[in-house]
Amino acid sequence: MKRNARIALLVLLAAGLWLALKPTLGNRRFTFLPFRWSEYFDLMDFWLNLGAFAMLGMTVWLAFGTLEKAFSRLWMMTGGITLLNILLELVQSSIPGRAMDMADVWAGLIGCVGGIGCGMVLQLFSIGKKSGGKEPQVLFLDQTGRLGGAELMLLDIAAARAADSEVILFHDGEFRTALENAGVKTTVQRLSEEASTVDKQAGLKSVLRSLPGILQLMLRIVQAARSFDVVYANTAKALIIGGPAARLAGRPLIFHLHDIIADGHFSLLNQQALVHCANFCAQSVIANSEATKDAFIACGGRAELCVVIPNGFRIPTERTAATQVSSLRASLGIPPQAWTVLMAGRLAHWKGQHVLLEALKAVPAAHAILLGDALFTDEDREYARGLHAQAEAPELAGRVHFAGFQKETMPYFDLADAVVHASVHPEPFGRVIVEGMLACKPVIAARAGGAAEIVQHEQTGLLVAPGSAGELAEALLRLKNEPSLACDIAQRAQQMAQDIYALNAVQEKIEAVIRQTASRELSQETETAANQPLQQVA
């Protein structure tokens, strides 16, 4: 294709030159014709120029343009061709009786941009074919290279269908390494700096600034998506960029909703953008809890798109050896018999680590491990610094242990006497709660969102009011002082977690959604899809 395009380019260059120079060689003004005719021919000249430059632009794009660097190439080529056009006009204007004709320059510019646009469209639709294979081919999209809960879930989903999947990340990081180690083909398509800094609370100004970067990445995803049967957006930015891209590429989209779309988590603008994008672009929305689904619908999301599938977990057959637990204790500086509570997860204000530190003051001699790091934003890093300062308080001295982010978390769960979840905003799901249960540890969780769906108060854990250090301290004291209660709760919870959250069963449900979505024809437009609820995934 490139070779033919280059030959066509030469022919067109010659034609373009002829068209551009023609008025100087012939009698441009057609003085022998009535005035109106002359105008008519001038007009025709304008259109001929426009057409010639459109062809020129399209051919140059097909010969040298690449969607990888769509925007820089677009400016370069338009600039180059327009410069050539102006030079030609200048040459003509040096001929006696000929003046510089700006109309021709404009015609060339408009034609060139239009032609390049057509070239891009042609390029987009001439590449990539649907697989036609047995298993649906899935292109997963995720905005981060860090390992948050949403990424850990995607890691398991993609690893189980590595032969039929690829992942595109918008940032590099340990997530890419983990995916590649699991045999999943992964590429990093970097999002521009401006677009990366748009966070969940972003307003209109920063969104507008990020547009060029977003459009560029979108084009690359359209190109990639055409080789797959389904596009699967795993995060909010992946939906905003991947949703329209999937539509342009003519591929159905699954949105895995890991977030509660509501105040406290997203700005109003972002809430609306997410929900409308999901409504318009997604054929299926997988919500990680009822709370997540309800918030989506309350915000205007289409209920018939939604199916609730919780996170799934490998059920460990072996736990950490006692000697390893003891040496971990020693390395953290925790005395051998000290009653210890674990809080695992990224350090962020809404995760409520500060609430645990406050509560710990009222639980004498208890130690706390904070496992995790500030993963995503500057505010998180600022918050982490604040936590270190908070832990310096005399009542807490030596009792708070920052373990940082660890890939291998099981030893920390096995070390703990209890696991705490303390999010001050509703938790969408809360993987750490289930992980605590699977480790057979009594869990205290904040009564809101997905956490309140996982924990049955007094049966499979203790629920406390979000943000209440007082209630948390009471619950901690109960577990510390009543080991038999702690043990009963932990055992019941472990059984329940093994029954409900086993990875295999969850993977099957997600596969069912993938198959169902892949088999949907995109030609059925939004209205039709609205009348066809996603079949309940049993």
Query: Which residues bind to ligand GLC, rule: CB under 6 A?
Result: 148-150, 153, 258, 288, 311, 427-431
CA distance 273 to 58: 33
What does the alpha-carbon distance between residue 240 and residue 217 come to, in Å, rounded to a whole number?
11
Q: Which residues of 157-186 are buried (b: 16+ CB within 10 A; e: fewer)?
A: bbbbbeebbbbbbbbeeebbebbeeeebeb
* Nearest to ligand GLC of 292, 517 (CB atom): 292
Question: Does residue 461 belong to the site contacting ligand UDP (CB under 6 A)?
Answer: no
Q: Which lies closer to ligand UDP via its Cβ, residue 408 or residue 499?
A: 408
Q: Which lies closer to ligand GLC via its Cβ, residue 57 or residue 149?
A: 149
For ligand UDP, the binding residue among 261, 287, 368, 371 (CB under 6 A) is: 371
Position closest to ligand UDP via CB: 149
Residue type, 255: F
Q: How far is the CB of 371 from ligand UDP (least distance, A)?
A: 5
Report if residue 252 touches ligand UDP, rule: CB under 6 A: no
* In the complex, minimum distance from the CB of residue 391 to ligand GLC, in angstroms, rounded to a whole number: 24
Of the candidates 28, 346, 441, 509, which one interacts with ligand UDP according to CB under 6 A? 346
Regarding beta strands 340-344 and 284-287, do their DSSP bridges make them parallel or antiparallel, or are they unpaired?
unpaired
**Side-chain half-sphere CA neighbours of 341 within 13 A:** 33
Q: Is 506 in the site for ligand UDP (CB under 6 A)?
A: no
Q: What is the DSSP letter of 502?
A: B
Is position 372 an interface residue for ligand UDP (rule: CB under 6 A)?
yes
Query: In whole angstroms, what is the distance from residue 321 CA to residue 318 CA?
Result: 9
Query: 537 - beta bridge partners?
Result: none
Q: Residue 326 has which token pair? A: 């003891």
Nearer of residues 249 and 347 to ligand UDP, judged by Cβ: 347
Q: How many angstroms separate the most distant Cα atoms in the chain?
A: 109
432 binds ligand UDP (CB under 6 A): yes
Residue 399-428 contact track with ligand UDP, rule CB under 6 A, x = bound: ------xx--x-------------------
Least distance (Å) between residue 12 CB and ligand UDP = 54
Residue 321 DSSP one-character state: -
Residue 6 CB neighbour total at 10 angstroms:
14
Residue closer to ligand UDP, measured from CB, 116 or 444: 444
Residue 312 sits in the site that holds ligand UDP (CB under 6 A): no
Question: What tokens appear for 236 in the block?
Answer: 């909010």
Task: Give Cα separations from 102 to 49, 80, 486 (angstroms).
Answer: 12, 17, 84
Q: Which one of ligand UDP, ligand GLC, none interacts with residue 345, CB within 5 to 8 A by kind?
A: ligand UDP
> Least distance to ligand UDP from the beta carbon of 303, Å?
24
What residue 344 binds from ligand GLC, ligand UDP, none (CB within 5 to 8 A, per partner kind)?
Answer: ligand UDP
User: Rounded to whole angstroms, how far apart are CA atoms 508 and 15?
Assistant: 60
Nearest to ligand UDP of 242, 411 (CB atom): 411
SS3 199: coil
Binding of residue 108 to ligand UDP (CB under 6 A): no
For the chain, the first-to-last Cα distance in angstroms comes to 48
**Residue numbers of the site for ligand UDP (CB under 6 A)?**
147-150, 152, 344-346, 371-372, 405-406, 409, 429-432, 435
